[in-house]
Amino acid sequence: MDIVGYIRKLLFEHECVILPGFGGFISNYKHAEINETQYSFIPPSKEISFNRALINNDGLLINRIAATEGLSYSQAKIELENFINGINVRLKQGNEVNFEDIGTFVFDRQQLLIFEPCLAENFLLESFGLSSFQFPAIEEADIRRDLERRFKAKEKIRPVSLSYKIRVAAIGIIAVIIFSLVPSRTVIDEQKTSIYPDKPVISEKILRPEDILNNPESVNEAIDKMTIPRIAMYYSEDKSLNVSSRMSVMKHLEDTIVQQKTEIAEAQSSKIEKTEEQHAKYFIIAGSFTVRRQAQVFSKQLARKGFAPEILDRQNGNYRISIGAFAEKSDASEELTRLRAQNVSCWILTRT
């Protein structure tokens, strides 16, 4: 009866196989290994060890013997006990006991049982068909040398002076402001023509962005118009100016240009509003007060919300605050609908 063969098969299927009264075999999972010194690969496996303390019968080995040999449980148990007794006799005689493909048992000088596992067999079913192999050594590439050679082949980039960067930044800021002030079409002229057809409209020359870009003289002319001499006189390429001074001058110049842009836009808007108000008959009213001070306070609140409020002349004892004036009733009604959709409380006042 090949009891060692039954133990070997059970180790493929289970992690522990006990020989009652003798000890138990334990299989532990071992990860795959790469030996960088010997340039070898070892697949994952089960590492077999022996524990002398596992002596209680779990019935696993006896049931396998009984089922395979066609014996009863008691008969299979007797066969296993006889096998174990024979092992103990041979060990006490100083002989080695070999379990094929599992390992070897022997007593040392202190009569301690020593187990030496066999590494030839892999009991991990998932690694079936995998074997250890060696691979050729991989030479490390000299990356540092390759990078140094590539960088030396490239031309050095000439550093850009700080004064040049400031000059370019100044031209860029002024160009952006000029483009934002130049209308792409004569919207104001079209509005004036449609509202006041009886009045001639004076057309001004419109500078397109591409005209300025393609004509250096136009760039210089635009810069001269947008730059205040008393501000420009502080800008200097003198090397004695440190970085902080130059950036301060640039910030001052930028703030002045933005202020000019705002003043021009407000002046244009004011002219259009005054002209339209002279012919407007329909006003969007957001509030009405009998005391002018209250009207002024509410007007400031509307301005902070983004509206352009105007306190109309007092009529019937009330100061009405307008947030829109129109010559056509349809335009006023459309604006009223839009504002009410934004939860703005307002109504239309008609003045003839």
Instruction: Return the structure tokens found at 44.
Output: 């994952």
Q: Is there a domain that residue 232 lies in?
A: yes
Which of these three, 134, 157, 176, is where a domain ends?
134
Q: Is there a domain that residue 224 lies in?
A: yes
Q: Are residues 94 and 197 in the same domain?
A: no
The CATH code of the domain that includes 305 is 3.30.70.1070
Distance (Å, whole) CA 275 – CA 182: 22
Q: Is there a domain that residue 144 lies in?
A: no
Q: Are residues 267 and 192 in the same domain?
A: yes
Q: How many domains does the chain have?
A: 3
Among 20, 16, 11, CA closest to 99 = 11
pLDDT tens for the 352 residues of the chain, in order: 899 999 999 998 888 999 999 999 998 888 887 877 777 777 888 888 999 899 898 899 999 999 999 999 999 999 999 999 999 999 999 899 999 989 999 998 888 999 999 887 878 877 767 777 777 776 655 666 677 777 776 655 555 556 666 777 778 777 777 766 655 444 444 444 444 444 444 444 454 555 544 555 555 555 555 555 544 444 444 455 555 666 676 777 677 776 766 677 666 666 555 555 557 889 999 998 999 999 999 999 999 999 999 998 888 888 999 999 999 999 999 999 999 999 888 999 988 7
Containing structural domain, residue 318: 280-352
* Cα torsion angle, 146, 149, 153, 158, sign: positive
Beta bridge partner(s), residue 323: none
Distance (Å, whole) CA 113 – CA 115: 7
Which of these three, 117, 134, 151, is where a domain ends?
134
Q: Are residues 7 and 129 in the same domain?
A: yes
